[in-house]
Amino acid sequence: MNDKFSTVLLIEDNEGDVKLIESMIKEEDPRGFRLELAKSLGQGIEYLSSNRADMILLDLSLPDSRGLDTFTVLHASIPSDIPIVVLSGLEDRELAIKAVHAGAQDYLVKGSLDGGLLIRSINYAIERKKAHEEKDVLLKKLAYKEKLASLGKLAGGVAHEINNPLASILSTAELLLDELPYDSPYRESLDMIIKESQRIRDTVKSFIGFAKDRTFDFKRYNINAVVENALNIIGRRKLEGFRVTKKLTEPLTEVKISRFHIEEVFVSIITNGLQSMAPGGELTITTGEDEENVIIKFKDTGEGIDKGNMEKIFEPYFTTRNKKGTGLGLTSSNVIVTQHGGIIKVNSGGRGRGSEFSVYLPKK
């Protein structure tokens, strides 16, 4: 596993089996893995609520759960991107098939287990999951490109059909307002017409900007400087009343980006975080890197995101708050990052538990 270890969570209550698995891992690949132990299903789920594991070795016979239900409950309780390999004392072909169909990466019989087989199964589970995630990312990027191409064709025609009559409405309302005396009862209605017309105009302008092809100017930058400038763009007044904690890693590999557009992404994510929090809330910005990406994380203590809305937050005009704006900020941000070859990941503990947006930008 090269120079970076993977965390394996073993959920097993039999001390003899625990020692056997520990010894197999140490003998076969002592530097590749770090083994964590949970002695019951409940302990395993609790560990994963606050810790990350790269894969799970799961015994089906535990003090608080037995049989295939053990896998089913765990699989439904943890992030779907963590692969699970089932351990069992039974050489039961039917149970093995059911486990794999339910989502297990492999089914290992303890009595037939050796170090080589165990390590291969762990490695294959992790790599298969990575390959599946990469495929999903590519499919999403392709779908986005196709959607943008369709929107681009639609945007020009729609804008023309709306903007021409809208300009007439707006200019007429403004002329009438200038002619009315200050105490006229019609001024309030004309003010409303003007404000709503301007809002429609801004929405159309934003839609065109979202759908049109962007011109990127790619150069290499230290992402920490881009984060700092995004905060400067937002300004002190909007940040007042909130705690902003910066954990910026130095040195950090420079990434090839279109700085203006990535700053736009950061401003949008930070603004959404601020809007989700009450005064006194904390926004934590962290930068770092792995082998392939520079990673920028924005974590807020705001209202969080319901699980049912996680897949919708990048859809145009989707919002869970009655806030000003066009509803295209996160959608546009996702498109920009995708066009950089990156991805935005979102995590939230649910309503009232804050959110974390992680932007992955490739080093290549």
Domain ranges of the chain: 6-113, 139-211, 218-362
pLDDT at 326 over 60: no
CA–centroid distance for 5 within its chain? 24
Give the residues across from 162 on adjacent strands.
none
Does residue 30 have a cis peptide bond before it, meaning omega lies within 30 degrees of 0? no
Give the residues across from 11 on adjacent strands.
38, 58
Angle (deg, nearest 10), helices 329-339 and 187-211: 10
pLDDT at 120 over 80: yes
Q: Which residues contact 311 (CB under 8 A, 6 or more apart)?
A: none
Q: How many CB atoms lie within 10 A of CB 363?
A: 14
pLDDT tens for residues 80-115? 789 999 999 888 899 999 999 999 999 999 988 898
Question: For residues 107 and 80, is the Cβ–Cβ distance under 8 A?
Answer: no
Q: What per-residue confidence (pLDDT) applies to 55?
A: 93
- The residue with greater pLDDT, 327 or 143, is 143
Q: Which two tokens stand for residue 255?
A: 């990434």
As a CATH number, domain 6-113 is 3.40.50.2300
Architecture in CATH of 218-362: 2-Layer Sandwich (3.30)
pLDDT tens for residues 10-39? 999 999 999 999 999 988 876 788 899 999
Query: Pairing between strand 255-258 and 84-88?
Result: unpaired
Q: How many CB atoms lie within 10 A of CB 6?
A: 15
From the options 3.30.930.10, 3.40.1160.10, 1.20.200.10, 1.10.287.130, give the CATH code of 139-211. 1.10.287.130
Identify the band that residue 317 occupies on the pLDDT scale cut at 50, 70 and 90. Answer: low
Question: For residues 243 and 281, is the Cβ–Cβ distance under 8 A?
Answer: yes
- The residue with greater pLDDT, 243 or 304, is 243
Instruction: State which amino acid sits at residue 261.
Output: H
